[in-house]
Structure 1
Amino acid sequence: MTNLARNLVDTADLHPDKPALILDDVHLDYRTVEEATRRMAGWLRAQGIEAGDRVALMLPNIPAFPVIYFGALRLGAVVVPMNPLFKSREVEYYLSDSGAKIIFAMPGEAAAGAAAAGARFVGIEGADAVALGGIIGEATPVDDVVDRADGDTAVILYTSGTTGRPKGAELTHHNLRSNAGTTLETLMPMGPGDVVMGCLPLFHVFGMTCGLNTAFSAGAALTLIPRFDPVKALDVIPRDKVTIFQGVPTMYGALLGQAAGREKDLETLRTCASGGASLPVELLRKFESTFGAAILEGYGLSETSPVASFNHPDAERKPGSIGFPIRGVEMAVVDDQGTEVANGEVGEIVIRGENIMKGYWNKPDATADAIRDGWFHSGDLAKRDEDGYYYIVDRIKDLIIRGGLNIYPREVEEVLYEHPSIVEAAVIGVPHEDLGEEVAAYIVVKPGETVDPAEVSQFVQDRLAAYKYPRHVNVIEALPKTATGKILKREIRQA
């Protein structure tokens, strides 16, 4: 029997006076945060929330998030994290689908969505945990932690919904505790003297597991940025002496874009980790040469809690690789029939182990399609080398088939990132009457610079086979992204 809330409770017992959360001038130690979760649990219990009930949480990275998160888990309730940028119809869907009884959110769209779904809305204003004072100040604390079985659901985390409506991945207490433990013990060792940059959204599995859950397991401080901004990050890192930075590739690119005169601001960093999307090799090289901080790339999905593979700090690092499977996890590359392919050949990544979700909430058919014979099918194309390191090639759904030939957008994007004027790039397939699909590139250039689309097209043609270079090059001001900074190709296609 276990409960993810023990991550905080046990650490507060060992390190009560160590800093837990920082948000500019707000500094909260572990004793304060843990006591707040007791009152939060007491308030929820007084509202009739019981073990197994769903509690929705739609907040940016502010201290109130972990207080509500661990307060709900303490009761054995199930947390449903949501993007604070959602509109009312999205809120209604998430609440209705999950059956959440209550939602904590900033005033605005969430209130209308909650009303439509028949859920209780609790408005949270202000940036720090004191904003909860009016709610939990007089609540009777709950000192115990409700026992939960390893297979009990702790979090319902909705996938981004690249096809159809989002599905809720049920992540268990064991999924999340083991993934945070493995991250802490083998991938990103940290302790009470460390400071973790909390710029990844806590409602996203990367920020939730590798940031919040891992830091709270270790007794490290989590310094929060409500919404990522590279200039703010470059101010916070030296101010708070950040030792561990976790981000997605676009965050590293944004920091690089603000590097002029600030190359020394990242000198306190000991570990940088990248995930959420493929990290272009050229971006990695430019970041490391500019800031002198090495980046370790990993791989995972919402359904895998999330970490599945990583460039382990005690092993050879291979730029462009997502490393090899973490402790307690197996991976393979298979063909359409589910047969493992030879090293160097491209196939779909399948994963099994203690990190795999319980299933999709109330969607048995989708669960059966995703998890076959114990293996989760990722939808990602990859190849494995002779040393067991994996390399993402692309998403299966992003594959471009031009005149019967397969083109992996990532390969083209890697070349585009080598162009001296390009800071971001996305490649998609567009319909073509004769060839089926044609290659189209969407690029963002450095401020104050211009490029000739024909020159960019030629730049790629000089470096790749003739059928792969983009015949259409579109220069745009910004690429559409998720809240975590992941480029949204489906929105580019719909534009």
Structure 2
Amino acid sequence: MNLGSIARDGAKRFPEREAVRLGTRVLSYADLDEQTARFAALLRERGMRPGDRVGVMLPNVVEFPLAYYAILRAGGIVVPMNVLLKRREIGFYLRDSGAEVLLAWHGFEAEARAGAEDARAELIPVEPADLADSLAGVPPMADVAEVGDDDTAVILYTSGTTGKPKGAELTHRSVLRNSEVVAMTATDVREGDVILGALPLFHIFGQTVGMNASLAAGATLVLLPKFDPEATLAAIEANRMTHFYGVPTMFGALLHYPGRERYDTSTLRICVTGGASMPVEVLHGFERAFSCEVLEGYGLSETSPVVTTNHAGRERRAGSVGTPIDGVEVRVVDDGDQPLPAGEVGEIVVRGHNVMKGYWRRPEATARAIRGGWFHTGDLGRTDQDGYFYIVDRKKELIIRGGYNVYPREVEEVLYEHPQIREAAVIGIPDEQWGEEIGAAVVLHEGERLEAKEVSSYVKERIAAYKYPRIVWFVDELPKGPTGKILKREIEWPDSAARLAEPSRQDLATRDRTADLRGER
């Protein structure tokens, strides 16, 4: 089935129901169907052929779902792009994907036009009034293009933390099945529910779990162009939201927003967090404050995205990302790809309908990522005896201090328990003596004061001595991506950040043991 048929099928089932809302602007399911059919016809008139890639550089506005489903209905492939990209990045995405057309929001036209020119692609500025006039003069496309289940629907570029971004090829089946399974078995989205679309739709979390799953289930998607705690609380009250989806920093911002009690959020039933590990203290605090169920899940761009989740109405385990969704297998394996028993830490690998076809035009990268039929995530995790999964950390973020593995998330969980700390990120800092030293960048609640030694001592009292941060510094805010996810690769430690403790006896013993193992003594 063509992923773009979501709009057509919704119109058949509940034509008059609200599909998308932004402020006072509302599209019913019948409106969504008609306008995407006209948009698809317009693209065909402009020369788009089945299989063509089309860049979409739009914020959370009504025009995003219109463009998205129109491209798919016409048989094209959507290439979602962050609206904050600059000329060089835009040019790379267009050239790499081979997209010859870019649909870009008029507010970002300057950078988009420059990038399109560099890639010799056509720019189509998207402005609501102009687009409405153009669509009015085009007869709607009568059909939905026939595609194979395994044909590419979306090329979603990864963040590129290890080099240039790679385009994950997501198929019509992988995205549609992921959307339907999540809505039916995980988030309990029902006809008539109201979902807040605060996550960027160009990101796979907002795209699949927010937009596609909501519209496939007959819910109303209320768009918020930019996340802001006060605007979000006001939107929940005004629209009587039943579902809120976000990354952990969004939950923290809502929980700690001064005066949140003024807003009526009693209609919230289900909240879903993903994109990064949710500190247990934030999860429990949010549930107490908002009297709703918070479900933590796990996924990646390459898996459409959902792999595991805690399910609505079933047992949830704080700190766990739940169990695999229907039709998906998950394992924890060692470096030889052999399955590990419950409790042991290894790499998480995935097999199922949600896994990408591969990286666009990168067969070698695809072969490295998908081995023996299993997608290797690069994430470290473990399971318990009941099959619940726990993410320990990114494989590449593992800190090895004096020969001992330190998982940043474990240290961050302790930091988040401190009543004066609002946010924290733990990273490895190169160190001549230990290989890596543990550093912590800390954001305090407004008006609070702490000394670095106090933070270090607080953690030292609660976990093994080799794990606590010896280097602590305070920042006003942590660098974040478009979804609000903390970007550890952009964290810099100041030259003034000094070691807070001399090596302890245990430290020296660890160093000596490590030297013995390496044959250095």
TM over 0.5, shorter chain: yes
| Alpha carbons 2:298, 2:307 under 8 Å: kept | yes
CA deviations 1:195-230 (Å, max 9, x no partner) are 001001100111100111011111111000111111
Distance 1:441 1:429, change over 3 A: same
Q: How far, CA to CA, are the matches of 1:347 and 1:261 in structure 2?
A: 40
Q: How far, CA to CA, are the matches of 1:263 and 1:426 in structure 2?
A: 31
Distance 1:455 1:25, change over 3 A: same
Kindly report which structure 2 residues correspond to 1:18-417, keeping only aligned pairs within 5 A, or say none.
Answer: 18-106=17-105, 107-125=109-127, 129-258=128-257, 260-262=259-261, 265-417=264-416
Counterpart secondary structure, 2:264: helix
Offset of 1:192 from its aligned partner?
A: 2.9
Counterpart secondary structure, 1:266: coil
Offset of 1:460 from its aligned partner?
A: 0.6
Counterpart secondary structure, 1:265: coil
| Alpha carbons 2:174, 2:355 under 8 Å: kept | yes
Query: What code does the residue aligned with 1:223 have?
Result: V
Offset of 1:315 from its aligned partner?
A: 2.4
Offset of 1:108 from its aligned partner?
A: 2.2
CA deviations 1:415-472 (Å, max 9, x no partner) are 0001111111100000001110000000111112222111111111111111111111
Distance 1:457 1:44, change over 3 A: same
Q: How far, CA to CA, are the matches of 2:371 and 2:259 in structure 1?
A: 50
Distance 1:199 1:445, change over 3 A: same
CA deviations 1:37-96 (Å, max 9, x no partner) are 011001100011011000110111000000010000001100000000101101000000
Query: What code does the residue aligned with 1:115 have?
Result: E
Distance 1:263 1:272, change over 3 A: farther
Q: How far, CA to CA, are the matches of 1:319 and 1:372 in structure 2?
A: 31
Q: How far, CA to CA, are the matches of 1:475 and 1:148 in structure 2?
A: 53
Offset of 1:8 from its aligned partner?
A: 1.4
> Structure 1 residues 392-401 or 184-193, which shifts more?
184-193
Q: How far, CA to CA, are the matches of 1:473 and 1:349 in structure 2?
A: 31
Q: How far, CA to CA, are the matches of 1:473 and 1:418 in structure 2?
A: 16
Distance 1:312 1:84, change over 3 A: same
Distance 1:19 1:131, change over 3 A: farther
Normalising to structure 2: TM-score of the pair?
0.93
Counterpart secondary structure, 2:417: coil
Counterpart secondary structure, 2:375: strand
- Aligned-pair Cα RMSD in Å: 1.2
Q: How far, CA to CA, are the matches of 1:89 and 1:137 in structure 2?
A: 35
Q: How far, CA to CA, are the matches of 1:266 and 1:345 in structure 2?
A: 40
| Alpha carbons 2:271, 2:295 under 8 Å: kept | yes
Counterpart secondary structure, 1:337: coil
Q: How far, CA to CA, are the matches of 1:184 and 1:467 in structure 2?
A: 43
| Alpha carbons 1:79, 1:156 under 8 Å: kept | yes
Q: How far, CA to CA, are the matches of 2:304 and 2:420 in structure 1?
A: 37
Q: How far, CA to CA, are the matches of 1:112 and 1:403 in structure 2?
A: 49
Q: How far, CA to CA, are the matches of 2:363 and 2:85 in structure 1?
A: 26
Q: How far, CA to CA, are the matches of 2:23 and 2:234 in structure 1?
A: 10
Distance 1:261 1:156, change over 3 A: closer
CA deviations 1:375-403 (Å, max 9, x no partner) are 00000000100000000000000000001
Counterpart secondary structure, 1:235: helix
Counterpart secondary structure, 1:262: helix
Q: How far, CA to CA, are the matches of 1:263 and 1:318 in structure 2?
A: 30
Query: What code does the residue aligned with 1:450 have?
Result: R
Q: How far, CA to CA, are the matches of 1:341 and 1:462 in structure 2?
A: 31
Counterpart secondary structure, 1:417: helix
Offset of 1:308 from its aligned partner?
A: 0.5
Answer with 1 or 2: which has the greater Rg. 2
Normalising to structure 1: TM-score of the pair?
0.97
Q: How far, CA to CA, are the matches of 1:471 and 1:430 in structure 2?
A: 10
Counterpart residue number, 2:488: 489
Offset of 1:259 from its aligned partner?
A: 5.1
Distance 1:159 1:406, change over 3 A: same
| Alpha carbons 1:394, 1:410 under 8 Å: kept | yes
Q: How far, CA to CA, are the matches of 2:371 and 2:360 in structure 1?
A: 17
Query: What code does the residue aligned with 1:433 have?
Result: E
Offset of 1:260 from its aligned partner?
A: 3.1
Unmatched runs of 5 consecutive residues or more in structure 1: none
| Alpha carbons 1:259, 1:290 under 8 Å: kept | no
Q: How far, CA to CA, are the matches of 2:234 and 2:337 in structure 1?
A: 49
CA deviations 1:350-379 (Å, max 9, x no partner) are 000000000000000000000001100000
Offset of 1:263 from its aligned partner?
A: 6.5
> Structure 1 residues 362-371 or 139-148, which shifts more?
139-148
Offset of 1:494 from its aligned partner?
A: 8.6
Q: How far, CA to CA, are the matches of 2:260 and 2:238 in structure 1?
A: 16
Q: How far, CA to CA, are the matches of 1:288 and 1:192 in structure 2?
A: 24
Q: How far, CA to CA, are the matches of 1:312 and 1:122 in structure 2?
A: 41
Distance 1:419 1:131, change over 3 A: farther
